[in-house]
Amino acid sequence: MANAREWERAHATATNQEKKGKRVANHQAGHQPTVVFVDAAWRSDTQVAGFGWSFTDGHQLTLEEGSGAEAPVVSALAAEAIAIREALIQAKMKNWNSLCLKSDSQTLVRAIRSNDKIAEILGVLCDIKTLASTFVSISFVFTPRSENSRADAIAKSALALFVTTEV
């Protein structure tokens, strides 16, 4: 119950969060999972994070892309965790129940898959676990940074836009 209240408070106070979606195609692959590439960009000096995600079908056609930004975010790892949580929320809103999430944060993917507890992101990890349990099938996969360039570009753009509009 405490985790649920923390989650609600975090989302209620995140008024400085920006989300935008860009619809590119309007279908999901038959029985193949929707693939979502997720990344975050973080500035230590301002503690601002930008997030990006790109959903694709089994044929690598873009289904939807989106982004968000938030402050304060305490670390790059926290930014990556928030980005994953936001991508899962977007997938649920689209009723995509079979998901393969790809992130270039090996530490975070390992923590999610092995139920590791990392103090600085414990609340967000709990949110991710709760959301993940609502999918029919879900996998978390480490992907090299070189294969995550689209989500990286979206995250960096969200960060730059947030920093520019807040200054």
Tally Cβ neighbours within 10 Å of residue 59: 9
pTM, entire model: 0.80
Q: Residue 115 has what pLDDT?
A: 86
- The parent domain of residue 13 ranges over 2-166
Place of tokens 């923390």: 6
Q: Give the total number of structural domains in the chain.
A: 1
Task: Read off the CATH number of the domain in which 104 is found.
Answer: 3.30.420.10
> Per-residue confidence at 33, pLDDT binned at 50, 70, 90?
very high
Summarize the confidence of residues 14-32 as an average pLDDT.
Answer: 43
How much is the average pLDDT of 119-123?
A: 94
Residue 129 sits at the vertex; the CA angle it makes with 102 and 50, to the nearest 5 degrees, is: 50
pLDDT: which is higher, 7 or 154: 154
Range with the poorest average pLDDT among 16-30, 63-77, 108-122? 16-30
> Helices 76-93 and 122-132, interaxial angle, to 10°?
20
The stretch 42-54 carries a mean pLDDT of: 96
